[in-house]
Amino acid sequence: MQIPFRSYIKRETLVTIRNLLRSIYINLIPSSPMAAVTDSPSDSDPPQFDPSKPSAPISYPIKTLDDLASRSYFNSFHFPFNRTSVALPAASVELADRPRILVCHDMAGGYLDDKWIQGGENADAYAIWQWYLMDIFVYFSHNLVTLPPPCWTNAAHKHGVKVLGTFILEWDEGKIIAKELFSTKESAHMYADRLTELAVSLGFDGWLINMEVGLEAEKIPFLKEFVGHLAETMHSSMQGSQVIWYDSVTVDGDLSWQDQLNKKNKPFFDLCDGIFVNYTWKEDYPKLSGVVAEERRFDVYMGIDVFGRGTFGGGQWNTNVALDVLKESNVSAAIFAPGWVYETNQPPDFQTAQNRWWSLVESSWGVLQNYPQTLPFYSNFDQGHGYHYAVDGTNVLTHPWNNISSQSFQPLLEFPEENSKFEVIMDFNGDSYSGGGNVRFRGTFDEEEDNGYFRARLFHGKIALGDSPIHVSYSTKSNGKSTSSIGLSFDLSMENEETISLLLVSRGSNLINMEKFSSRFDKVIMPRRVYSSEASPDWFIQESIILPQFAWSSTLTGIHAVCYDSRPGNSVQSKFDASLGHIAIKTTTTTTTDENSGFPGPDCWLVEGECIEWGEEWKELSVKLKWSLKEGNNNNDVLMMMSKYNIYVEKRQNEEEAVVEYVGLAEIGAYYVSGLSVPSGTRVVKFIVQACGMDGSCQKIDDSPSFEIRVRSNFTPPSSSSLKSFSSSVQSMTTMLFNLRGAPAFSPLNVSSASVNSLAPAATHHGISFYKRENVFLVCASKGGGGGGFGSGNRPISGVVFEPFEEVKKELMLVPTVPQDSLARHKFLADSEAAINEQINVEYNVSYVYHAMFAYFDRDNIALKGLARFCKESSEEERHHAERFMEYQNKRGGKVKLLSILMPLSEFDHAEKGDALYAMELALSLEKLTNEKLLNLHAVAKKNNDVQLTEFVETEFLEEQVESIKKIAEYVAQLRRVGKGHGVWHFDQMLLEEEVVV
C-alpha cells in the first residue's frame, strides 16, 4: 500500500509525519544516534563496509560533515572507479537560451542497481534512455552528499545532458549539521570548496542545494556565503557548471516552500544558476515567477511531481498538463521522480510504459537535444541492460546484466499507438550484433497507401559535413523473411536552406526498387560492400560511401531507417520483420577488416595488477587491473579515441589453446576482478584488455595487451613417515624455545586458536599437531597427552605456532614477480601509502595558496614586497615538504599519486581586516590544517605499527610545524595591533629585513 498512498499526500504532510515518527523512534531507542537508522549487528550481518579495502567497486554517498571535511573519500579504493570517463561535448557546455527541462531522479523506491560501477546482473534494472528530452539530470537521495554514480554521468554526457549531485540538510540531523556548517564564513567556504573539489574530481557538473531545515536568522548570511561561494568556485573550476537552489528555506530562516520565485527566495536565486521551485504551484505562479526572474526566466525550473502529490495537473499520466502550462509561461520545468513508472509497475511492462510516459513529454515540449554532432558517430542502440552481450556478432555473455555506462547513443524512436500496423521496438531477446539489444521493425505496409516502404526516425543530427567522403556502415538481420530489407536515409540541410535526402539501400535491392525510390529521394546510393558476420551469419554488414559532391557544405540533420521489401515486382501488402544492429559514420574509408591498424599494439601498453588476493586453496582470484599507454605513444590523441575496454580472461592448464571468457566492461583504465573462479590445475591466469574505438571498432584479441598471473601449485602435505621422523626435532625445538624466557626464535604465525580449532589435524605425534590450512602446513605444540590438537581439549602452548616448512621461504614468496611492483617494499601498508599521498596533496594545495598570495602582494598596485617574499618562500617550503614526502614514498616502495589541486583565491582584500591581516590569518589556518593532517598521518603510522613512518613524521615535520604556527600567530597578533593603515607598511618592511623561516 505504500506506493499508491504516496501518490496522494502532500510534501508538507509527509515531512511532518516523518519528523514525528523519527522523534518517537529515537526516544524509544536510547543509544547512539545511528541506532535510529541502523539495525544492531548480528552474527549473520555482513562485515562493515570499509571503503579503503579492495572490493567490487561501488558508488556511495558521503553521510557526515567530518567525512566531507577530511576528504576521506579521495583515499577510498572506490574513488578512481567513480570518476566519469565521458566529457560533456563542447556544444553542450553552455545551456541553451530557451525553456529547459531538468529531471530529478528520486531513489525513494530503493532501486539501487546503479551503485555497482562495473555493472550488475539485473536485466530489468531501472534506466533512462530518453536523454533527448532533457537538459539537466539531478541524482537525488536523502544522504548529506549524494554523488552521481559514474554510469549516469557517462550516459548523460554522451547525449549532451549535464549531471548534478545533491547536497541536502533535513530532519533533526540536518539542524545539527547546519549549526556547524554555518557557524562562520570560513566554515561555509571550506565546505563549499569540498563540494567543488568532489564535482571537479569526479567529473559531474554541479549541485542541487536543498536546505530543508529551519535556520536562525543569524545563520542566513553564512548560508548565502555558502551558496555564493559554491557557485563562484564551481564556475571558476568548471566551465558551464551549475548550482541550483531548491525552494525550501527562506531568507527569514523559515522552512516554507513558496511554490514560486518571490522576494523570500530570490536572494538565493541571485547567488546561483537557478531555482528548483516546489511542485505545489498554482496555474498563474509560473508567469509570476518569470516576471520576478526578468531576463533569467529560463533559470526558473517549476517542479512537477510525477507521483502527483499536490502537483498541478495531478502528475502521473497527466504530467503533460503541467508541462503545457510551463511551456506557455515561457519558463523551465523540473520533473521530479520519473521513476514512478518503474516503482508502480505501470502496465503492460516497464519498457512500454516508460516509452509511453516520455512520449507525453515530447508531445508537449518537443526534442531538446540533437545528436550526432561530431564524427565519428556510432550507436548499437544499447540501453545499458539485457540478457546477453555481443561483440561484433559474437555473444560473449549469455546471462542477464545491467550497466548504464554501456549505453550507446539512444535512437529517438517514435512509438505508435497500439492499433498501428507497423511497430518499432527495442529487442532484447533476439541475437544482437553489438551490445545487448537491437532495433526491430515489424508489421505490414501497403504498396499503394505507404509507397511500398516504412520510414522510422532514428536520430536528429547536427553534423557539419566537409569535403571528405563519408563512410557509413550498418548491420541488418531479417527475422524469418529474407526479403525484408532496411536502408538508411540521411536528411541534409544545405547553405541555401534547401533540404535534400539521400537513401542508402540495402543488399538485394533491384532496379524496380531503385526506380521506386529515385522519385522519392534526391539520391539513391547502392552499397559498396556487403558481407556477413563470421560469428553470426544472419547479420549482414552494409558499407556505403557518400561522396563529397552529394554532401558538400551541408549539415546532417536527420537519420531514418527505411524498411521495404526487396523482392522484384509490386505486392499489395508486405509483411515485414527485420532488425538493425548498429550504425557507424566516419570520414575515413577504413573498413572493419583492417580496423586494428588504428590501435596501439600490445607493446605500447603498460598493464599492471594490484591488490592481488587468492581465496581458499587458490580457487578464487581477486585483482585490480590497470592499464595505460607507455610514454611516447601519443597518449592523449590515441586515448581520446578509446570509448571503452572489454576485459577477457584466459585460464591455461597446459600449452594447448585455452578458452577466452568475457569478464566485463571498463569505462576507465582500470577494472577490479572480484572472486574469479580458478579451476584446479590452472597454471596461468591471463587477463586481456580489448580497446574499443569511438567508431565501434574493437582491437583484435590476439593484438590486445594482457597481464598474466601465475598460479602457485597446490601444497602437498608430507607423508606420515616424514612427520614421525620430524616430530622429535620439533619437540626439541619447542623445549628450547620455552627455556629461553624470551621471544621465540621463529616468528609466530598470526593464527588464533579458534581458527586452528576448526581444522582437523593431519597427524599428531608427541603432543605436536600438524594442520593444513590454505595450502600452508601448520605445526602446533600443545600440553596434555595424545591424540589430537586443539579439538581434543589440549591447551596450546602460547607462541609456538609456526611454519617449519615455510618460515625460511616466507620473505622469498613475498618478493614481487610483477616488474611494476616495488622490490624494496616491506611492512608498508596500503593505508600508510594513501595517507602519504594525501599529505603530498595537502602540501601542494597549501603551496598553491601561498603562491597565489605572493602574486597578489607582488602587484604594482599592492606593492607589499615583504609579504610577497614571505608568501613566496612559504610556497617553496611547502612544495619542498611535498617533495620530501614523495622521496619517502618512493623509498618505502609506495607509488606517488598526485591528486587534483583546487584553484585558490586571487583577491585577498577584506573590508574589515584589510589584505595583510586577512592573508596572514589565512596562512595561520593553513599551517594549522597542515599540522592536523600531519597528526592524522602520524596516527595512521602508529595504528599500522610503522615505526619508520612514525619517526619520519616526528623528526622531520612536527616540531617545525609547531614553530611555524607560533611564528605566524605572532604576525597575526602584530597586524591586529597596527590595523589597516600605515602600520602595515612598517610590518612589511620588518618582513623584508628579517630572515623568514616557515
State the average pLDDT over residues 513-539: 84
Give the C-alpha separation, 335 to 318, whole Å: 13
Between residues 268 and 532, which one has the greater pLDDT?
268
476 vs 577: CA distance, rounded Å: 11
Mean pLDDT of 678-688: 91
Lowest pLDDT segment from 7-16, 259-268, 305-314, 619-628: 7-16
pLDDT at 15: 52
Phi and psi for 84 in degrees, rounded to 5? Answer: -70, 150
Handedness of CA 509, 511, 517, 522 (dihedral sign): positive
Cα–Cα distances (Å) from 111 to 36, 108, 349, in that order, read 22, 8, 16
Longest pairwise C-alpha distance within the chain: 106
Q: Are 795 and 786 in contact (CB under 8 A)?
A: no
pLDDT score of 451: 72
What is the Cα–Cα distance from 44 to 417, expressed in whole angstroms?
A: 51
Place of cell 535526402: 501
Closest CA to 647 of 705, 598, 593: 705
- Which CA distances in Å does 953 have to 74, 546, 925, 968? 22, 67, 20, 21
Q: Which amino acid is at 826?
A: H
386-426 pLDDT, tens digit per residue, is 999 999 989 999 999 999 999 999 999 987 766 778 899 99
Q: What is the pLDDT of residue 807?
A: 47
pLDDT score for 189: 95
The three three-digit cell numbers of residue 332, written as one number: 523551465
Say which residue the cell 547502392 belongs to.
526
**Pick from 558, 431, 440: which is nearest to 491 by CA?**
558
Residues recorded for the chain: 998
What residues form DSSP beta bridges with 913? Answer: none
Judge contact between 645 and 629, C-beta under 8 A.
no
Give the separation between CA 711 and CA 681, rounded to whole angstroms.
Answer: 9
Residue that the C-alpha cell 592536523 belongs to: 932
Under the banding of pLDDT at 50, 70 and 90, the label for residue 805 is very low
Q: What is the arithmetic mean of pLDDT over 251-266? A: 97
For the stretch 791-803, pLDDT in tens is 334 444 444 444 4
- All three cell numbers of 72, joined, read 576521506
Which of the pair, 751 or 935, is modelled with greater confidence? 935
**Distance from C-alpha of 175 to C-alpha of 606, rounded to nearest angstrom:** 50
Q: What string of DSSP letters covers 762-794? A: SEEETTEEEEEETTEEEEEEEES-SS-SGGGTP
Strand partners, 385: 402
pLDDT value at residue 224: 97
Q: Is the separation of the CB atoms in 440 and 430 below 8 Å?
A: yes
Report percent pLDDT > 90 for the chain.
59
Cα angle, residue 278 at apex, residues 226 and 219 outer, rounded to 5° = 30
How far are the Cα atoms of 346, 466, 557, 673 from residue 549, in angstroms, in the given order?
Answer: 50, 10, 17, 51
For 445-481, letters b (16+ CB in 10 Å) and e give bebeebebbbbbebbbbbbebeeeebbbbbbbbbbee
Three-state SS annotation for 811-874: HHHHCCCCCCCCCCCCCCCHHHHHHHHHHHHHHHHHHHHHHHHHHHHCCCCCCCHHHHHHHHHH
Q: What angle do CA 133, 137, 140 make, to 5 degrees?
A: 140
**Hey, what's the cell of 24?**
518517537
CA–CA separation, 181 vs 618, rounded Å? Answer: 50
d(CA 433, CA 380): 8
Interacting residues of 359 by C-beta distance below 8 A, sequence separation 6+: 414, 415
Nearest residue to 368 via CA among 160, 560, 134: 134
Pairing of strands 422-427, 573-586: unpaired
Separation of CA 177 from chain center: 27
Cis amide bond preceding 400, omega within 30: no
Look up residue 350 and give its three cell numbers. Answer: 516497464
Q: How far is residue 821 CA from its own chain's centroid?
A: 27
Residue 507 above 70 pLDDT?
yes
Return the closest-CA partner of residue 365 out of 333, 336, 339, 340. 333
77: cell is 579504493
Q: Distance between CA atoms of 979 and 164, rounded to whole angstroms? A: 43
**3-class DSSP assignment, residue 324:** helix
Type and span of the H or E element at 451: none
830-857 vs 865-891: helix crossing angle, rounded to 10: 160
- Per-residue pLDDT tens for 685-733? 999 999 999 989 999 999 999 999 988 754 444 444 544 444 555 445 4
User: Average pLDDT, whole number, for the chain?
Assistant: 83
| Residue 295 grid coordinates | 531576463
pLDDT-based confidence at 632, cuts 50/70/90?
A: low
SS3 assignment, position 132 = helix
Query: How does pLDDT run across 337-366, given as a tens digit for each residue?
Result: 999 999 999 999 999 999 999 999 999 999
Contact status, residue 557 vs residue 492, Cβ threshold 8 Å: yes
The pLDDT of residue 449 is above 90: no
Cα gap 242→794, rounded to integer Å: 69
pLDDT higher than threshold 70 for residue 836: yes
End-to-end CA distance of the chain: give it in Å, rounded. Answer: 66
Higher pLDDT, 970 or 14: 970
Confidence at 573, pLDDT banded by 50, 70, 90: low
For 662-679, give the secondary structure using H, E and C: EEEEECCCEEEEEEEECC
In angstroms, the CA 783 to CA 793 distance is 9
Nearest-CA neighbor of 296 among 336, 261, 247? 261
Burial class (CB in 10 A: 0-12, 13-18, 19+), 308: buried
**Cα 355 from Cα 359, distance rounded (Å):** 6
Least confident of 50-64, 576-590, 685-699: 576-590
Q: pLDDT tens across 174-212, in order? A: 999 999 999 999 999 999 999 999 999 999 999 999 999
- At 73-98, the pLDDT tens digits run 999 999 999 999 999 999 999 999 99
pLDDT value for 638: 64
Q: Which alpha helices (DSSP H) does 29-109 contain, by range?
A: 65-70
Angle (nearest 5°) at CA 473 between 391 and 577: 80
In degrees and rounded to multiples of 5, residue 232 shows phi and psi of: -65, -45
Banded pLDDT at 748 (limits 50, 70, 90): very low
Residues 572 and 451: their CA atoms lie apart, in Å, by 10
pLDDT score recorded for residue 9: 52
pLDDT given for residue 448 in this prediction:
66
**C-alpha cell read off for 49:** 563496509
Total-model pTM: 0.72
